[in-house]
Structure 1
Amino acid sequence: MTTDLALLTTAATQWDAAAKDFETVQKAYNSQVRNVGIDEQWQGVARTFAQIANTRTYEQYSAAATEARAIASLLRDAHGQFVELRAKVKSAIADAAKEDMKIDDNGKATWTKRDDPGVKNDPDAATSIPKAEASWTQHIADIVQQFDDADQGVKLALAAATQDSDPNDGITNGFNAKAEGDIEKVEAHEASRLAGVKDPDDKQRAEMMRLMRDNKDKVEFSQTFLADLGPDKAIDYANRLRGQAKGDHKKDYEQLQNGLATTISTATRDPKSPFYEKWRKDLREAGAKNYGSNTSPMYGYQSFVEMMKHGGGYGKQFLSDIGDDIIAAEKKHPSIWNKISGHKDVPNDPLDGLLSIMGKQPDAATSFLDPGADGKNDHLKYLLKDRDWPKWSAVGMAGVKNFDDPTSQLGFGAALEAAATGNVPGTKHVLGGHTEAEARVMHDTINTLNEGHKIGKVHANLRAPLGHMLVDYTSDTHRILAQSEPLYVHAAKEEGTGNVWKAADGNARMAVHPADLARVMREVAEDPAAYAAMYNAERQFAADTMTQTPFGNTEKRLHTIRDASTAFGFYDGVSADLVYDKRDAAIQWARDVSHAVTATSGAALNFIPAEVAKDVAMPKGVKVGADGLNRMVDFAMYDWTKEQIAHANEAAGQDTRRAYYAGQMQVDNLVTEWARRNGHTDLDEPLVMNIIGGAKDKHFMSREQALFALNRNH
């Protein structure tokens, strides 16, 4: 910590001066020694050997100058790294001091207030203090490790720079005519050498781990390392690491897998770099190459994408380009990804694997799946309608038989959800607030699934993601189903139409025809939990809309109630159709839905305020608190779940799809609570009697509309 690092730059200046001195002496040697006898007056064997020796000496001066300048460059590089890392250590120590942590000379953290009376009486202190101290000690140790890694890198680079570049030229311990002045490049060359060692010893493995750890975010290292290997050797290296990660040094090899994936991410973030296009071109060839056997093939893209899962933060363009190249490969070689046998640790569908990576990077997923304002990007349509998804194949006496892959489209589902919502699946976020690109993905997903005004069977692994997407778009689906707002009605007058536009609050909106939406809702309803999530979101949105509507304004109050009744009519139509189809399993489905609805409070859902309130635009991303909206969703859930099961029981025994009206009862319950919170506690009061169930005709009509759309689908 007290070393004078400026000595490194002083030494670098002296090495630069040495390089100039070598060049000066070289000129003198060339004119006064080497050129002697070149006028052909000196003949014979002695002259021949003298010229060879003179040329080699002349070249050594050049090599010496090159080596000196490389050392100067390395010393300046080392100075920059050490100054930055020392500042990092000092900053960490200062941050620790702000939290009353003292760091000793060995890097150990100790809390300075251990002996305070209040601490001694704190029952949690016995565990919380050691935990905090250990955390700071580890933080300091991590930075010190970075310092040591950098120091080892400088040592490696200096040693490499002083190696004789031509040990066979007859000069012992000659200078290095190829000396490299960039530490990262030197380390990259060493890493590529070690990557070729099939069974590394402990020292080699530790050095490879250090190289990857020290250079994980350095573009120069990553691109040089990968350029040295090329995609073919990189895939071969990935295959070996995957196998070695099951042995005695599993954690080490897992770390190396992470390192390899990180170098891919770092090296490919700039699609305009000279490295990028050549790497992509070579990867196209390696991606379609079989690294397995004829009976148990494993293609390059399968292994490459599996390795990519160990990293993250990939560039949007890189993910999109790899997606395009995988699609091109499977179109050129149909059934190439069908799994025959073996390779249980490598999924057969690289495109679905790539999509799963995009699911963790919503901006990349949106970019890949967004049809665009001009509709020219066909990725979404290809995946939803046109792609022949890979199968599992078994070879028997009767020939090859194909089976569905149970993991099929899991990655697509994740990417689709991320693309439409702008959020990583499974993360908590405010609902709504979409970009136009995200809204186009949602809009075109619904319309593409409804091609020909009839929806085919949606893959089981897509139902939950579709349900989550619809939850996120509840502010739109509520208005689509309500059919009362002109913007939504006029945007989708006919099935298969619709539009995406930017609203005054800066958020995008999307509209589709209610019949198209109902058919997608019906497919989602096959998954009780996904359907329950949609239902919960609709209940919450309807309740929030009521609480933001002036109760005393008769016209607005009636409009709000009718919208809710109409929306729930569609939900009841979907429920009735599903229960009728399931018959024997209808009761269990209703119980599953009810359990899923009650398992999570509707009040846990947050919508962007501007998408709830129709009269007040609020900033995007502002959360709605339960207290602020006086939320009233959970007060009558038991009654609703009981009615849900009762209606399922009734509908299952009838030859009709018209028995469901639980949704209207839900609206009545919400309205009753709304009235009560506005001072109308007497259910027999004429006003209350008038508004409760006052929109039953809207509920009936929308339920019939949904059933008509769904009956056409049978």
Structure 2
Amino acid sequence: MTTDLTLLTTAATQWDAAAKDLEAVQKTYNSQVRNVGIDEQWQGVARTFAQIANTRTYEQYSAAAKEARAIASLLRDAHGQFVELRNKMKSAIADAAKEDMKIDENGKATWTKRDDPGVKNDPDAATAIPKAESAWTQHIADIVQQFDDADQGVKLALAAATQDSDPNDGIDHGFNAKAEGDIEKVEGRRFAELAKENSGGHSDAKALAEMQRLVRDNSHNVEFSQTLLNELGPKGTLLFSNRLNENSNNSDEATKSSSLSIEKGLATSLATATNSPNSAFYEKWREGMRSAGVDVVDDHQKVQIKGYQSLVTLMSHGKGFSPGFVTDLGDDMIAAEKKNPGIWDMPSGKHLAGPPKWLARDPLDGLLDIASRDPKTAEKFLDPGPDGKGDRLKYLLHDRNWNTRYELTGNYSHPDMDQFRKVEDPDARKGLAKAIEAAATGHQPGESAKMGAAHTESQARVMHQTVESLNGKFGDHLPANLRTPIARTITDYATDTHEILTGQNSNYGYEGGRQSIWTKDGNSHMAVAQESLIRVIRGVSDDPKNFSLIYNTERAHSADILAGMPDRPGRSNVEWDVPSRDVGTAFGALNAIGADTIMDKQDARKAWADDVARYGYHLGGAPVTGLPVIGDVAQRTIDAAAYDWSKDIKNLADEKARGDLAKDWTKDTASVKDLIDASAKQRSIDPTDPDRPHYNDVKQMRQEAEQSYAASRNKALTYLRPN
């Protein structure tokens, strides 16, 4: 902390002066020594050898000047790094002091108020104080480590700058005509050199430790990252990444830890190097990856791993990849698999040499998983665009063949019979599902939003096309890995879902929907056909938790709508009756979906219905996570609604099975009426006493809801069971 770092810049100035002096001597040498005998007056063998020696001496002056300037540049670079780190350390010590932490000369933090009476009597202090001291001690240690890493980098660069650039020119200990004045470039080349040496067999522990240091110190530096990737090339990078993954799964604990750390750093360097698509490096790297991505990385492996599979495996260890890079990679992968269907095929089964567990078997789906970590990236990749010409989402949902694994069929009785069959990987579409959720909602998969969350145009376009494409491809039976993320995404669009189910809003195109989204006041909305939405909700509902999530979200939204009504009816009750009709319509459709699921389940119908009941919202069952946040009045309405709504779904399923739908269509509306009654109670209205004010107004709301419910449930069942 007390070292005079200005000595580095002073030395750099002197090295620059030395370079100028060397160049001046070189000029004198060239004019007074080297030119002797060039005028043809000196002939013979001696002249020939003299000219060779003179030329090499002349070149040494150039190399010496180059080396001197490189050293000057390295010293200035070192000065800048050391000053920055020392300031960082001073700032950390000052911040620690603000929290009454004293940092001793060994970097250990001690809380200065340990002996205060209040602290001694605080039972939590015994654990809180050591924890805080440990955190500050580690923070200081991390900065010290950064100092050491930087110092090691300077040492490496200075040593490299003073190496003889041509040890075979006959001059011992010659100067470096290729001296590099950028520390990070030197470190990038060193990493690439070590990676090449450790891409084959056994990995050297000392080399792994040095590579750890290199990426720890430099993976966020553009010069380092682009240099090492250029030196390795796409295929060399992938080969080394595969070696790291093998180490992480098959080696001793020390090698595993080192390999994981290096791979994380290498992935970070890849993100750093490719952050800007408008660079010569980016274009060169992408072009090289187009070739390496479809080739086998290592011919000696039992399972032929393609380059893009290795690349996505590497990327899965990092973060911060730019939207442009992810989108370009995705386009290149789509182009590759359209050109060569089955390019990612992987073996499966105990009699086949299966792919390693660490591998991203479907690189495109793996890339979508990576895209989902940043909603903006997922949005950019999946947005079909205002003109609908962006076909990535349609391709992924509708056109792509997801059968990427082949397995033995056991058909050995005749040579003409198929020996293999193509099947879907158990993890198929997991990345796609998460990317859709991130792109359509604008938040991380699994996060909840406030009821009525606003959406951008691109988010709404993703949602609109997703629902229509899923219905067009799968109807009401979705692939298992799509169900839960799509269910969560539907709840994020609770306002739109409610309006589409009611079918009375012209902005949404009534029941038939619109070809595209609509936007007002900066908030965009999907406007899919009512049939498409109902069938997709049915598709996710094979999982009872998904149905419960959507159903409970509609309950919360309906409670929100009822909470927004005037405190007392007016205008011939229209301000109470219309919302009650809408609520009845929405629940009619959802109950029909639940009933259809029960009828499809056959032997498992009771278990599904019981699970739905178990996930009831505030009914004593297991909580449903992911529900949108609603207002206080709506929350109190939900809390007051005590009827087990799953009974309505069971009743409706029984009615449909017996063919009794037309006989008693009020039997399965209890949950709707219970919600209306709970809303009345929030207005201090007793819905059970005919002699109390507004009893008939609440009764009329129930009647309106019943009528709308019956029509909606029958229409929904027609969508789901047209025969």
Place the TM-score, normalised by the shorter chain, in its bin: over 0.9
Partner of 1:307: 314
Partner of 1:210: 213
Partner of 2:485: 465
Residue identity opposite 2:303 in structure 1: S
Partner of 1:654: 658
Residue 492 of structure 1 and its aligned partner are, at CA, apart by 5.3
Contact 2:275 2:325 in 1 (8 A): yes
Answer with 696-705 or 329-338: which moved more.
Answer: 329-338
- Structure 1 residues 229-308: aligned runs within 5 Å: 229-246=232-249, 247-248=251-252, 249-290=255-296, 291-292=298-299, 296-308=303-315
Residue 645 of structure 1 and its aligned partner are, at CA, apart by 4.5
What SS is found at the alignment partner of 2:36?
coil
* Distance in structure 2 (CA, Å) of the matches to 1:679 and 1:637: 17
Q: Does 1:441 align with 2:462?
A: yes
After superposition, the C-alpha distances for 1:423-446 in whole angstroms (9 at most, x for unaligned) are 111234435221100000000111
Q: Does 1:701 align with 2:722?
A: no
Partner of 1:572: 591
Count of matched residue pairs: 690
The 1:147/1:411 distance shift into structure 2, 3 A limit, reads same
Partner of 1:367: 380
Q: Pick the aligned partner of 2:440 from 400, 415, 420.
A: 420
Q: Does 1:327 align with 2:334?
A: yes
* Distance in structure 2 (CA, Å) of the matches to 1:674 and 1:93: 58
Partner of 1:50: 50
Residue identity opposite 2:397 in structure 1: L
Partner of 1:183: 183
The 1:42/1:294 distance shift into structure 2, 3 A limit, reads closer
Partner of 2:500: 480
Contact 2:559 2:635 in 1 (8 A): no
Partner of 1:620: none
* Distance in structure 2 (CA, Å) of the matches to 1:660 and 1:274: 70
The 1:492/1:295 distance shift into structure 2, 3 A limit, reads farther
Residue identity opposite 1:699 in structure 2: Y
The 1:697/1:446 distance shift into structure 2, 3 A limit, reads same
What SS is found at the alignment partner of 2:180?
coil
Unaligned stretches of 5+ residues in structure 1: 608-623
Residue identity opposite 1:17 in structure 2: A
Answer with 374-383 or 590-599: which moved more.
Answer: 590-599
The 1:427/1:602 distance shift into structure 2, 3 A limit, reads closer
* Distance in structure 1 (CA, Å) of the matches to 2:672 and 2:266: 56
After superposition, the C-alpha distances for 1:174-219 in whole angstroms (9 at most, x for unaligned) are 1110000111100000000000122343321111100011011111
- Structure 1 residues 348-427: aligned runs within 5 Å: 348-395=361-408, 396=410, 397=412, 399-427=419-447
Q: Pick the aligned partner of 1:494 from 485, 497, 512.
A: 512
Residue 590 of structure 1 and its aligned partner are, at CA, apart by 1.2
Residue identity opposite 2:676 in structure 1: V
Contact 1:550 1:556 in 2 (8 A): yes
Contact 1:348 1:390 in 2 (8 A): no
TM-score, normalisation: structure 2: 0.91
Partner of 1:584: 603
Contact 2:368 2:434 in 1 (8 A): yes
Contact 1:439 1:500 in 2 (8 A): yes
Contact 2:274 2:282 in 1 (8 A): yes
Alignment identity in percent? 53
Q: Pick the aligned partner of 1:510 from 503, 526, 545.
A: 526
The 1:70/1:663 distance shift into structure 2, 3 A limit, reads farther
Residue 642 of structure 1 and its aligned partner are, at CA, apart by 4.5
* Distance in structure 2 (CA, Å) of the matches to 1:302 and 1:521: 33
What SS is found at the alignment partner of 2:197?
coil
Contact 1:551 1:557 in 2 (8 A): no
Q: Does 1:664 align with 2:683?
A: no
* Distance in structure 1 (CA, Å) of the matches to 2:205 and 2:434: 39
Q: Does 1:675 align with 2:694?
A: no
Residue identity opposite 1:691 in structure 2: M
Residue identity opposite 1:366 in structure 2: E
Answer with 691-700 or 568-577: which moved more.
Answer: 691-700
After superposition, the C-alpha distances for 1:327-369 in whole angstroms (9 at most, x for unaligned) are 1111122112221132232142111111111111211111111
The 1:314/1:662 distance shift into structure 2, 3 A limit, reads farther
Residue 307 of structure 1 and its aligned partner are, at CA, apart by 1.5
Contact 2:648 2:668 in 1 (8 A): no
Residue identity opposite 1:636 in structure 2: A
Contact 1:188 1:221 in 2 (8 A): yes
After superposition, the C-alpha distances for 1:281-321 in whole angstroms (9 at most, x for unaligned) are 11111111123569732211112111110011111111111
The 1:582/1:630 distance shift into structure 2, 3 A limit, reads closer
After superposition, the C-alpha distances for 1:354-398 in whole angstroms (9 at most, x for unaligned) are 111111121111111110001111011111111111332123535
Contact 1:187 1:211 in 2 (8 A): yes
Contact 1:363 1:422 in 2 (8 A): yes
Unaligned stretches of 5+ residues in structure 2: 348-352, 691-695
* Distance in structure 2 (CA, Å) of the matches to 1:546 and 1:98: 52
* Distance in structure 2 (CA, Å) of the matches to 1:11 and 1:109: 36
* Distance in structure 2 (CA, Å) of the matches to 1:667 and 1:117: 60
What SS is found at the alignment partner of 1:450?
helix
